[in-house]
Structure 1
């Protein structure tokens, strides 16, 4: 079950959901409008799942930054979110999509107990200027069914994330896990 905007606000007030910073005006009927943070990593060259991804970090200037087609950008949300009670789903939205920006297609699930500034996978269909703090997508909260198992209590590879994370698949490949 997806929470409504008023239910999200009530859960924030009750301490069941953390959105930092929280602005009630960013609530919509079934989601919270999240914003692009102020840093991007531009992935360098060819990517290899068995090796760490090389990136150049770029601070987004107030005047904006032009995303180029054919380049993978890793960004971060402005907001930090968490909930021990609810799972989270992060998505792009129609506004960014109408500009030809694909954001966070592959990993939209935020587990219960994961306090996170989301790492974003960003691609552009055409050259497009983006700005720090611009609305970039929607975050929904989902009521979980069953016994809770907090993400923070697991040995998850991204549990301590507080910014832009590159893929850590190479750790599994090097470690020999299937």
Structure 2
């Protein structure tokens, strides 16, 4: 089951989930609007190799915003620290941005119980699009689990900056 907006507030007040900083104006009927952090990263290499290390260039989003270009993948973070030891967070992009051709969280929208940090955002645009730090970029929902829960203890559950996995992790087959 998904938590309603009022239940998100109640569970946050009880300490069962984290959204910091929290602004009640960003609360929706069944979600909370997360904001875009101040830094974006892009891949340096012109060709992505799933078996190679990936170097990232970093750019700070200025007061006048930053124009994102098609054909590039951008990594950002939420401005908020979000997570829970009880509920499963799921992050999606805002439909209003999707209508502009800007897509967020197109492959990794599901969080894990036990993860609490600034979430890495995957961002692509189909046409040049100006973004601003602190803009509402998407929504986070919180879901209850059924059955025994194992807390996530992997490396990405503790990171608060955009990053890519090490080459060995991408090259693993299974």
Q: TM-score range by the shorter chain?
A: over 0.9
After TM superposition, list the pairs within 5 Å mapping 1:1-178 onto structure 2. 1-44=1-44, 45-151=46-152, 154=153, 156-168=154-166, 170-172=167-169, 177-178=173-174
Distance 1:146 1:134, change over 3 A: same
Structure 1 outlier segments of 4+, above 2 Å: none
Contact 2:85 2:151 (8 Å CA) reproduced: yes
Q: Which runs of 5+ in 2 are unaligned?
A: none
User: TM-score, with normalisation over the residues of structure 1?
Assistant: 0.92
Contact 1:95 1:136 (8 Å CA) reproduced: no
Contact 2:114 2:157 (8 Å CA) reproduced: no
- How far apart are 1:66 and its partner, in Å? 0.2
Alpha-carbon separation, structure 1, partners of 2:146 and 2:168: 31
Q: Which runs of 5+ in 1 are unaligned?
A: none
The 3-state SS of whatever aligns with 1:116 is: strand
> Root-mean-square deviation (CA), in Å?
1.3
- How far apart are 1:162 and its partner, in Å? 1.5
Alpha-carbon separation, structure 2, partners of 1:172 and 1:65: 31
User: TM-score, with normalisation over the residues of structure 2?
Assistant: 0.94
Alpha-carbon separation, structure 2, partners of 1:160 and 1:52: 20
Task: Deviation per CA, 1:99-141: give whole Å up to 9, x if none.
Answer: 2101111011111110121111111110010000001011000
The 3-state SS of whatever aligns with 2:37 is: strand
